[in-house]
Structure 1
Amino acid sequence: MHEDFLDELGELALGSRLKRVSEKMLADAAKVYEHFGMAIQPKWFTLLALLDKKHTVSVVEASEYLGLSQPALSQFCRQLSAKELINVAADKSDSRKKVIQLSAKGRVQVQVMKPIWSAVNLAAIELSEQSNNQFYQALLLFEASLAEKSLLQRSQHHFKQLANTQLSEEQINIIEFKPTLASYFDVINSQWIEEMFVLEEVDKRVLRYPQKNIIEKGGKIWFAEHPSLGIVGTCALLNKGNGAYELTKMGVLKTARGLKVGEILLQHVIEQAQSLPLNCLFLLTNAKCEAAIHLYEKNGFVHDKEIMDSFGRSYQRCDVAMRWTQEDFATNL
C-alpha cells in the first residue's frame, strides 16, 4: 500500500484533506440513507432540516442561512420538488420572491428521517470525541477513526440502541386512520413496493388518496407507532363488498424491520376485522415476499386458488393469494 502523500504535505494540504474527509462523510451518509431504504441525497439534508425548523423561508433567506449560492439552492429545490418533498410558491406579499416549505409528504419524510439523523449525530460525536483539541492532529485522528469504523457502521450501532429491539407489544401504539396521517400511508408503502417491484397505477391511486379509495368505501386503515421512531408501519382493510375484505398495503419502514412491528400490526388488524360483517378475509401478494408470506401463514392465512381466480388480477405482480382461517390462526397462537 502506498504512503499517503498528504501526510508529507502536512498542513499545506489541509484543504485537500478536509475535502477528502468531507467526500467520505457524504458518501457514508448516502449509504446510511440507502441502508434504511430512503432515496434521499445527503446534500439535501441542511435544506430539509432548515424547512423543518423555520417552516417557510424565501429562496434568498435559505441561501443565506445555509451559505449556499442561489443557483445551487435552486437546483436543490427543483430536485426536492420533483420528489414532492417541498412546495415552491410566490410570496403572497411580494410575487417576485419565491418561498419554500415542506409538503405534507416532506413533513412525513423528515419525521421518518429524524431518528436516523439522531443516530448519525451520535456517530459523528463519537468520531469527533476520539480526537484531541489540536485541530490538525484531531483531524488526522478523526480520519483514522472514520477508516476504522465508518459512519454507516457507527450509525447502525446507535440506531439499534435508539430502536430498542426488546420492545413489548404494549409499547407499539396502534392508531386508526385520520387525514393528518395519510402521507405516512403513502411513504411507508411506496418504500417497500419500490424496493421490490414497480408502483402500479392502482397503487398510486390508493396511496395518494386513501380516504377516498379505502375509508369512504367502508374500509379501515391502521398505523403502528414506535415510542422513539414514530409512525413506522401501516395496514389496511379494503371493502370488496358482500362481506369480503382484502388485507392490503401492509408495510413497515426499513428502519423498524426486525422489531416485530409487522406481526403486532397484523394481529391487531385480524382482531379488528372480526368485528366487521366479515365473510371472507384475504390478501394478495407475490412469492418474492417470502418473509411476509411466512408471517401470514403463522397468523392463519392459507393459500387459496379460488381467491386467486376471483381477485388475483387486481395487481400485475400478484402470484399468491391467501385466505384467513380462524382455526389455523388459533392453532398458531
Structure 2
Amino acid sequence: MAIGTRLRMLSEQMAKDADKIYELYHVDLKPKWFPVFYVVSENGEKSITEIAIEIGHSHPSVSKTVREMVKEKILLEKKDKNDARKNNVALGPKGKQMANQIRDQYIDVRKAVEETLDQSTYNMWHAIEEFELLLDQKSMFQRVKEEKKHREAANIKIISYEPKYRIPFKELNEEWITNFFTMEEADHRALDNPEEYILDRGGEILIALYKDEPVGVCALIKMDHPNYDFELAKMAVSPKAKGKGIGFLLGEAILKKAKSLGAQNIYLESNTVLKPAINLYYKLGFKKVIGIPTPYQRCNIQMEFKLH
C-alpha cells in the first residue's frame, strides 16, 4: 500500500505539472490523451486495436479516448482502404496543427526529464522496469504467500505416530473422504486399526502438528507386490490448515522415511477430481502408471515414485 500510495502521489504531482506545461505552450491537449496523440502523430493512421497494443492500454480505454478527441476535432475516423469494415484513426486539422505546435514542448520536456534523471542517484526508468520485471516473474501476492508459508513452517512439526493420535488419524481421513466420496471397506480396515493394519506389518504413519495440534496425516502401507515396497496412503490435511504447505512437507517426510527403510518403489492411488492432491504428487516426483488391481472404487489414477 505504501509503494502504491507513493507512486500514486508522484503520478498526481506529474499530472498537475503536465497540465501547466500544456498551458505554458498553448497546446489544447489533455495529458491523458497524449499517448494516443503521439502514436497517431508519429506513425500516421492506426486502428484502435493497434494503438491499444502499442501504448499498453485496454481497447475500451483507447476507444473512449478516441471518441473524446474526435469530438474535439483533434482526431478523425476513416474507413480502412483495404477493409471497409475497419475504422482507422488519423489526425484531424486541429491535430495536425497541434503536432507542429508541440515540437518545442517535446524538446524542452525531454531535456528537463534527462536533467532530473541525471541529478538522481537512481534512474527511475530503470528502477521501474526492474520492479515490473520482478513482479511479472512473481507477483507480490505470490511473494507474500510464500513468506507466509515460510513463517508458518516454523510452527509445523512432522512426527511419528503415537497411540494418542489414533482418533485424529481416523477423523482427518474420514473428513476428506466423505467430503468427496464414501467410506469403503479398505478405509475402515486401515482407519479402525492403524497399529494392526499398518504399523505391525512394517508400515509407518506420520503426523503433522501445527502449533502442537494434529492437522495432517500420512501412511506407508507395506505391499505384497513384486514391483512396489510400500503404498503411500491415507494422506489427509485439515481444511483449516490449508495453504501452509503441510501436504508437501508430509509427502517429503514419508518418502524420506521410505528411503530409510530401504524401499525402492512407492505406489499410490487417487482420483483425478482431487486436482490439488494430484498436482502435489507430481510435484513430489510421482509418475502415472496403469494396470494394478485396486480395492477402491474411487481410484481412477495410479502413480509411482522410484527412490533409486
TM-score of the two chains, using structure 2 as the length reference: 0.49
Higher relative contact order (CA 8 A, sep 6+): 1
Over alpha carbons, which structure has the higher Rg?
A: 2
